[in-house]
Amino acid sequence: MHRFSLLTLALGALTGHRTWAEQWRSPEPKAEYDAVIIGAGGHGLATAYYLAKEHGITNVAVLEKGWLGGGNTGRNTTIIRSNYLWDESAALYEHAVKLWESLSSELNYNVMYSPRGVMMLAHNTHDIQVLKRHVHSNRLNGIDNEWLTPEEAREFCPVLNIGKDIRYPVVGASLQRRGGTARHDAVAWGYARGASRRGVDIIENCAVQGIIRDVSGAVTGVETTRGTIRTKKVGVVAAGHTSVVMAMAGVRMPIESYPLQALVSEPVKPVFPCVVMSNTIHAYISQSDKGELVIGAGTDAYVSYSQTGGFHIAAHTLDAITELFPMFRRMKMLRNWGGIVDVTPDRSPIIGKTPVPGLFVNCGWGTGGFKATPGSGHVFAATMAEGEPHPLAAPFTLDRFRGGRLIDEAAAAAVAH
Amino acid sequence: MLLIPCPHCGVRPENEFRYGGEAHIARPSRPDDLGDQQWADYLYMRTNTKGVHFERWRHIHGCARFFNCVRDTVSDRILETYPIGASAPGAAS
């Protein structure tokens, strides 16, 4: 496996870049593994990477029914932030942001993490109260977040319209300067490369069809489209399809799957310096390094696995975008798509053990999982390795819905549900 | 946008409706007798079917009435709608 460095890049240039080896292996599945991860998205691959690196568990398979990073990892709007309200969430998402800060060097793979600042707009008194509450809560947790006047918001994002004559004028904003974006595909590829190098088998085009259990109910393997694989530990990291996979083990989940839409424009020169989100009028926007405006819309109203959604949802978002940023009114949109997000009743994830021995689950990231990718994989790997929840994952058990200790992040989720 | 056949008003566009979640989840008749797990099952656990899904809609900008709907969650095709209170099509008895 090549290491990327200035020297190897220069040598590659001299040979016309024809000498690069494949970034990860594509092996045939073995008959048995110490652990099996279902789902080769960012979270699943990160889990495998940290299992191998931090816990020495290298005999691991990551099973993917489609292609690597082809689900929500390749469909999200790549925003990173940790300005969540409650202590439990703030700790979890901040853990992820800290890992983002050094992820490119950790993986020797450029994930293009760009802390360009995430600004959340307020349009009414309620927004001001909610966002200021988040600012204060974040600062108590040592997380940067500050309150801006409309004029300060425009200073940070000069193309923002703070006119008083629009339908929902901007009356203030909160700003997390360490928030930003990263390159979503590179995150999946970097983790895949790092995991594969440490011995993890990444097996694409391998759909799980059943979870095999012994008389005590414990997991003993999985049935797949590429044969039976024996294992005593299974981690389900299947996002929108979590309910489907967990049903194979007879476990009902507090999850519903909805389409969440996004769209990108034609690429243009750099015009948009940060990330701007508005929960109230259902829009968020940033500009990729390639120059496309990356725009996030809301979820559709109904349960669906269709990876598409109603056009009126995207159109509604563009109404908001063009009012906040009038210069984009004549911009052409190139693509519009949907991803299937696994939404929990409290908009917080579920990470940990299940009633089935040997079966672990990491799901419920809903509309905002990308930002958590490194932290999610890190704490879930520890949970799978030790058999007990990592301290940061401990509040996010499946059991909280029985005990009632919900972690309500509906406001911080920042996507209209 | 879905075109939804309201049993009372006929086929109307989706933005006249509000989604009402999974259908046929009966409110417990004796809530005092329920334990934590049963409450969690009632309040939070959902079938989240990939395929034929039974769900409620409400025609808020029309007749304002709830009704049930059978929809394929893979194709989003609506198979049929039927009044609230009726049992699910294809269900035993």
Residue among B21, B48, B74 whose CB faces A253 most closely: B48
DSSP A56-123: ----EEEE-SS-TT-SGGGTS--EE----SSHHHHHHHHHHHHHHHTHHHHHTS----B---EEEEE-
| Interchain CB distance below 8 Å, A243 and B46 | yes
CA distance B64 to chain A (A): 17
* List of chain A residues whose C-beta atoms are within 8 Å of the C-beta of residue B50: 241, 243-244, 257, 305
The whole-number pLDDT of residue A2 equals: 78
Q: Using alpha carbons, select from A91, A72, A123, A112 the residue that is nearest to residue A276.
A: A123
The whole-number pLDDT of residue A284 equals: 93
The CA distance from B84 to B87, in Å, is 8
Task: Give the global pTM.
Answer: 0.96
* List of chain B residues whose C-beta atoms are within 8 Å of the C-beta of residue A301: 14, 18-19
The residues, ordered by sequence, that sit 6+ positions from B72 with a Cβ below 8 Å of its Cβ are B51, B52, B53, B79
| Interchain CB distance below 8 Å, A243 and B75 | no
The CA distance from A408 to A74, in Å, is 27
Q: Using alpha carbons, select from A159, A190, A188, A153 the residue that is nearest to residue A173.
A: A153
User: For the residues A178-197, what does the mean pLDDT come to?
Assistant: 97
Label the pairing between strands B52-58 and B66-72.
antiparallel
Q: Which residue of A has its CA nearest to B18?
A: A301
| Interchain CB distance below 8 Å, B36 and A305 | no
Is there a contact between A273 and A304 (Cβ–Cβ < 8 Å)?
Answer: no
* List of chain A residues whose C-beta atoms are within 8 Å of the C-beta of residue B53: 303
CA distance A313 to chain B (A): 9
| Kind and range of the H or E run holding A357 | none
Is there a contact between A293 and A328 (Cβ–Cβ < 8 Å)?
Answer: yes
Q: Using alpha carbons, select from B55, B49, B56, B37 the residue that is nearest to residue B74.
A: B49
Is there a contact between A318 and A284 (Cβ–Cβ < 8 Å)?
Answer: no
| Interchain CB distance below 8 Å, A302 and B55 | yes
In this predicted structure, the answer to whether residue A16 has a pLDDT above a threshold of 80 is yes
ipTM: 0.94
With bands split at pLDDT 50, 70 and 90, how would you rate the model's confidence at A412? Answer: confident
| Interchain CB distance below 8 Å, B46 and A305 | no
| Interchain CB distance below 8 Å, B46 and A254 | yes
The CA distance from A204 to A226, in Å, is 10
Q: What mean pLDDT value characterizes chain A?
A: 96
In this predicted structure, the answer to whether residue A411 has a pLDDT above a threshold of 90 is no
DSSP A125-151: HHHHHHHHHHHHHHHHTT---EEE-HH
Report the percentage of chain A scoring pLDDT > 90: 95
* List of chain A residues whose C-beta atoms are within 8 Å of the C-beta of residue B16: none
Q: Using alpha carbons, select from A95, A43, A56, A32 the residue that is nearest to residue A235.
A: A43
User: For the residues B37-48, what does the mean pLDDT come to?
Assistant: 96
pLDDT tens digits along A290-331: 999 999 999 999 999 999 999 999 999 999 999 999 999 999
The CA distance from B44 to B34, in Å, is 14
User: For the residues A55-81, what does the mean pLDDT come to?
Assistant: 97
Residue among A253, A345, A403 whose CB faces B36 most closely: A403
* List of chain B residues whose C-beta atoms are within 8 Å of the C-beta of residue A253: 45-46, 48
| Interchain CB distance below 8 Å, A305 and B47 | no
| Interchain CB distance below 8 Å, B76 and A312 | no
CA dihedral A88, A91, A93, A97 (to 10 degrees): 180
Q: What are phi and psi of A19, to 5 degrees?
A: -100, 0
Residue among B36, B45, B73 whose CB faces A304 most closely: B73
Helix axes A184-197, A42-55, angle to 10 degrees: 30
In this predicted structure, the answer to whether residue A416 has a pLDDT above a threshold of 60 is no
The CA distance from A154 to A146, in Å, is 15
| Interchain CB distance below 8 Å, B14 and A253 | no
| Interchain CB distance below 8 Å, A256 and B15 | no
More confidently predicted of B57 and A283: B57
In this predicted structure, the answer to whether residue B89 has a pLDDT above a threshold of 90 is no
Look up residue A243 and give its amino acid: S
In this predicted structure, the answer to whether residue B92 has a pLDDT above a threshold of 60 is no
Tell me how long chain A is: 417
The whole-number pLDDT of residue A410 equals: 83
Distance of CA A413 to the CA centre of its chain: 12
| Interchain CB distance below 8 Å, B1 and A310 | yes
pLDDT tens digits along A103-149: 999 999 999 999 999 999 999 999 999 999 999 999 999 999 999 99
Interface of B with A (CB under 8 A): 1-2, 14-15, 18-19, 21-22, 36-37, 39-41, 43-50, 53, 55, 71, 73-76
Q: What are phi and psi of A36, to 5 degrees?
A: -125, 130
Count how many pairs of residues, chain A against chain B, have C-beta atoms within 8 Å. Answer: 71
Helix axes A373-386, A42-55, angle to 10 degrees: 50
The strand ranges marked E within A266-411 are 275-278, 283-287, 293-299, 333-343, 350-353, 359-363
